[in-house]
Amino acid sequence: MSTVFNFCPACATSLARGLQGGRERALCPACGWVHWDNPTPVVAAVIEYEGKVLLARNVAWPEKMFALVAGFLERDESPQEAVAREVLEETGLTVSATHLIGVYEFRRRNEVIIAFHTPAEGTIALGEELAEVKLLEPARVRPWPLGTGLAVADWMRARGLPVEFAPLPGRG
């Protein structure tokens, strides 16, 4: 279990560990505050641009590591609005539709990923978070076996495309 809190944000008492709601949680022994540590909602886009799938490389990632455009769902924003905003911010493309692919766990980062297929149009203009993009024929995409890669695999299967998972970096 991970927590970003050492002290209660309500009363500043040192937090303790204890069971609440059937799970170990960070609890305040003084005021009863509970850190539930719920997953963060994230949206991801299988962007279809000019008949190809757009994969992106974040500026912080190694050279050959590409994935879907993704970002956090913000307050007062629907998942559909969030994915359209992320696509526009990161690629300069306008989403013409959003089609839900599915919802996926990403336990390593305590996130729930809401993935969409998003046909998009316009001219690619990279935002500050991206180093580069690549466009692949849908049949040439090799999804990764976790997180957003599972959404890519489901999108491919729904189109009758064979799925061959790529190895994860550093794992063979």
Three-state SS sequence of 35-92:
ECCCCEEEEEEEEEECCEEEEEEECCCCCCCCECEEEECCCCCCHHHHHHHHHHHHHC
Residue 1 pLDDT > 70, yes or no? no
Whether 2 and 70 map to the same domain: the answer is no
Residue 168 pLDDT > 90, yes or no? no
For residue 155, give the amino acid letter.
Answer: W
Residue 144 buriedness (CB in 10 A; 0-12 / 13-18 / 19+): buried
pLDDT, tens only, 124-155: 999 999 999 999 999 999 999 999 999 999 99
Distance of CA 23 to the CA centre of its chain: 25
Q: Considering its fold, how many domains does the chain have in total?
A: 2
The range of the structural domain enclosing residue 72 comes to 40-158
Whether 66 and 80 map to the same domain: the answer is yes
Whether 20 and 44 map to the same domain: the answer is no
Q: What is the pLDDT of residue 49?
A: 98
pLDDT, tens only, 10-30: 999 999 999 998 999 999 999
pLDDT band at 171 (very low <50, low <70, confident <90, very high): low
For residue 139, give the amino acid letter.
Answer: A
Whether 80 and 62 map to the same domain: the answer is yes
